[in-house]
A and B are shown apart, each in its own frame.
Chain A
Amino acid sequence: MSNAQQFDTRPQGEIPVESPLAYSMQRSGAPKAKAGTKVTMRERPFLGQLTLRGGAIVLDEALREVVGLGLPGEPLGLVQDQAGERSIQWISPDEWLLIVPGGEEFDIERRLREALGDAHFAISNVGGGQTVLELEGEAASEVLKKSVAYDVHPRHFSVGKGVTTVFAKATVILRRPSEERWELVVRRSFADYTYRWLLDAGEEFDIAVEN
């Protein structure tokens, strides 16, 4: 067991917590769904996000034991559990992003550290630094085509794939958990920029924002 110090980043008690987009949604607005709405955006804030680094074999074993998910077998892979609540994504040959429902990450990190023991690894809680945006609807890929350099054609970007790429003038982790749904993991500091860019890009498709 490593002797790394861990602390729970979730405040106990009655401390108000704001999502990275709280201000943007007030300032830039959150358009309601219309008859012609072809794409819907929603934020999934406060998810637990852990960056796992280390050898694939030991991490895979520990992760199966603790979360019940195996690492994706190939580069650019994205693996989810049945409910789609927990996912693990390939970021780099020795790096993976684990996203779990908010509040679980502290316990998962502790149990992963126990399971990994003296193996060579690093786990960082990155939940406070990034947030997840979701695009859904028939025009979701059209909006993405206006925003990312990456080819999002279904033949090239199949379900269960995730890439880190350029989004407008920022970067984004783009994932496709299901046929109609796209997820964008964005940096907290770029959340407002990304949100406003998507509002603008989605205007022609009557983009709607669900809170």
Chain B
Amino acid sequence: MFYILCPYCGEHREEEEFHPKGQAHIARPADPENTSDDEWGDYLFFRDNPRGVHHELWVHAVGCRKFFNITRHTVSYEILEVYKMGEQPSITAESLASAEKSQGVQVGDGGQQTVGASDSAAKDSRGTKV
């Protein structure tokens, strides 16, 4: 069970009050008229499935009914960060990897640090996502 901090209620609540809503920071193509089928397909159907840091959209369904984002580690299930809609994550796979590097920590199996598509997606959407 997760014990999730709702950024709007300002306190931790049981997981059963929440629903996961998939990957966060998926921006709708800005110019749909000139978007190729491939790009539409990517936007509609293709989602990241990283081993490591993942940014997700959740909703406090039984509660304040607001959507917000969670940065979660898909291996350890640790919730690294919770932030409101419209905000950008301060913890990403890249930032975590560089922090560990600067501390001189050896990452045992590099696989856990997915410098993943999820974070490049987050970056791409910067400025376009409301």
| Residues of A in contact with B (beta carbons under 8 Å apart) | 74-76, 91-93, 95, 149-150, 163-166, 171
> Which residues of B are found within 8 Å of A93, using beta-carbon distances?
8, 64, 66
User: How many pairs of residues, A versus B, come closer than 8 Å at their CB atoms?
Assistant: 36
* Known contacts A92-B65, A93-B66; A165/B8 CB under 8 A: no
Q: Are B16 and A166 in contact (CB under 8 A)?
A: yes
Q: Are A166 and B62 in contact (CB under 8 A)?
A: yes
Q: Are B62 and A165 in contact (CB under 8 A)?
A: yes
Which A-chain residue is minimally distant from B9 (CB atoms)? Answer: A75
Q: Are A92 and B17 in contact (CB under 8 A)?
A: no
> Which residues of A are found within 8 Å of B11, using beta-carbon distances?
76
- Give the contacts of B99-121 with A (CB-CB under 8 A): none
Which B-chain residue is minimally distant from A170 (CB atoms)? Answer: B62
Nearest-neighbour CB distance to chain B for A170, whole angstroms, equals: 9
Is residue B51 within 8 Å, beta carbon to beta carbon, of the partner chain?
no
Give the secondary structure class of B's interface.
Answer: loop
Q: B64 touches which one: A74, A92, A149, A166 (CB < 8 A)?
A: A92
Give 15 A-B pairs besides A75-B10, A165-B63 with Cβ atoms closer than 8 angstroms: A75-B8, A75-B64, A76-B11, A92-B8, A92-B64, A95-B64, A149-B14, A150-B13, A163-B9, A163-B63, A164-B62, A164-B64, A165-B62, A166-B14, A171-B62
10 A-B pairs in the complex with CB atoms less than 8 angstroms apart: A75-B9, A91-B64, A92-B65, A92-B66, A93-B64, A93-B66, A95-B64, A149-B17, A150-B14, A166-B17
Interface centre among B8, B9, B66, by most chain A C-beta atoms within 10 angstroms, is B9
Q: Are A164 and B63 in contact (CB under 8 A)?
A: yes
> Which residues of B are found within 8 Å of A91, using beta-carbon distances?
64
Once the chains are docked, how many angstroms separate the CA of A166 from the CA of B10?
17
> Which residues of B are found within 8 Å of A76, using beta-carbon distances?
9-11
Nearest-neighbour CB distance to chain A for B8, whole angstroms, equals: 5
Closest 8 CB pairs of A and B: A92-B64, A149-B14, A171-B62, A75-B10, A164-B63, A93-B8, A166-B62, A75-B9
- Give the contacts of B14-29 with A (CB-CB under 8 A): 14, 16-17
Which A-chain residue is minimally distant from B15 (CB atoms)? Answer: A149
Once the chains are docked, how many angstroms separate the CA of A74 from the CA of B9?
9
> Which residues of B are found within 8 Å of A149, using beta-carbon distances?
14, 16-17
Once the chains are docked, how many angstroms separate the CA of A91 from the CA of B63?
8
Once the chains are docked, how many angstroms separate the CA of A163 from the CA of B14?
13
